[in-house]
Amino acid sequence: MGVGREKMVMTSGYACEGKEGRKGICRLSSSSSSSFFLSCLIFPKQAEQSRGRAEPGRKGVAMAAVLKVYADRLSQPSRAIIIFCKVNRIDFQELTVDLAKGQHRAHEFTILFPCVEINPMAQVPTIVDGRFKLFESHAILRYLATVFPGVPHHWYPADLFTRAKLESVLDWHHSNLRRGAATYVLHTALGPALGLTPSPEAAKEAEKLLSRSLGTIETVWLKGDAKFLNGNPQPSIADLSLVCEIMQLEVVGDERRDRILGPHEKVRAWMENVKKATSPHFDEVHQLIFKLKARLNPASKL
């Protein structure tokens, strides 16, 4: 979607999956376009057996077909998808949608990637698996973890009670952590760098929401000595999605990032656990964020 330079607009798209009997779970997911601003700045000119449950497999997908991932690594959700594929050795083709060049907008995206047929929202990430097309990062992560054989079950547990707890984190994410982080980064770092007029009040309110969200993560999902969300011994798709979100704070500089994350020791330890569990791919996929950090904050340490 296009974002005008004359004013800052935070936009979101929502989708709710339908229920399927008693086992269906209605999910709400959203995506925002803060990565568009990031792009303008950065480009100025495993093997585990099946999970013991009935899986749909890749029905209707030619086994020779390679998963296509349309993404921009400056997009937080895009990074989560790419890291997940790399960690789980999923064979995929990464197709970069350069947001700085407006390739996410309808006309350009239609010419390059038939947007109307792939993603009518013209957003990333989007995947194409044979004839199957899907957008919204949480939905994509669920699909990849469920359909591709060999993905360890801890990413998206088979147990419905464990999975339901994971789903609650994912649903909470977009209207809390993501909204706070994206708005704060926009009004403190990206907007000013792009010549936009930031709102100190919006930044202040966003920081409050962000701090509350970090506190919620610690008190609700990182109780005790939990290494990962919900006390799990290994990471889930929720861990990966949320940590990629928090990594966006790199672009605001060390001082502001440390002020926000400093009081949250459990969050910082948990982030390190996720990084280690997905190494070396985590740092590799975040290289563009580190490059942007250096561009916006020359004095910050990398």
CATH of the domain at 86: 3.40.30.10
In a domain? residue 252: yes
Q: Secondary structure of 197-235 in the HEC alphabet?
A: CCCHHHHHHHHHHHHHHHHHHHHHHCCCCCCCHHHCCCC
Tokens of 297: 């904050």
Q: How high is the pLDDT of residue 156?
A: 99
pLDDT at residue 193, rounded to an integer? 80
| Global pTM value | 0.79
In a shared domain, residues 283 and 171: yes
- pLDDT reported for residue 1: 37
Where does a domain end: 128, 147, 166?
Answer: 147
Q: Name the strand (E) or helix (H) holding 14.
A: strand 13-16
Q: Does 263 lie in the same domain as 204?
A: yes
- Looking at the structure, tell me whether residues 164 and 105 fall in a common domain: no
Average pLDDT taken over every residue of the chain: 81
Q: What integer pLDDT is reported at residue 5 of this predicted model?
A: 33
Segments forming the whole domain that contains residue 88: 67-147
Is residue 19 situated within a structural domain? no
pLDDT of 141 reads 99
Q: What is the DSSP letter of 274?
A: H
Q: What domain count does the chain have?
A: 2
Instruction: Kindly tell me the number of DSSP H helices and DSSP E strands found in the chain.
Output: 14, 6
Residues 168 and 291 in one domain: yes
Q: Are residues 78 and 171 in the same domain?
A: no
Co-location of 83 and 130 in the same domain = yes
Last residue of a domain, one of 108, 132, 147: 147
Q: Would you state the pLDDT for residue 45?
A: 47
What is the domain-level CATH number for residue 284? 1.20.1050.10
Residue ranges of the chain with per-residue pLDDT less than 70: 1-64, 99-117, 302
Would you state the pLDDT for residue 120? 77
Q: Which of 100, 127, 147 is the last residue of a domain?
A: 147
Let me know: does 78 contact 146? Beta carbons within 8 Å.
Answer: no
For residues 211 and 108, membership in a common domain is answered with no
DSSP letter at 132 equals E
Give the Cα separation of 228 and 34 in Å (integer). Answer: 27
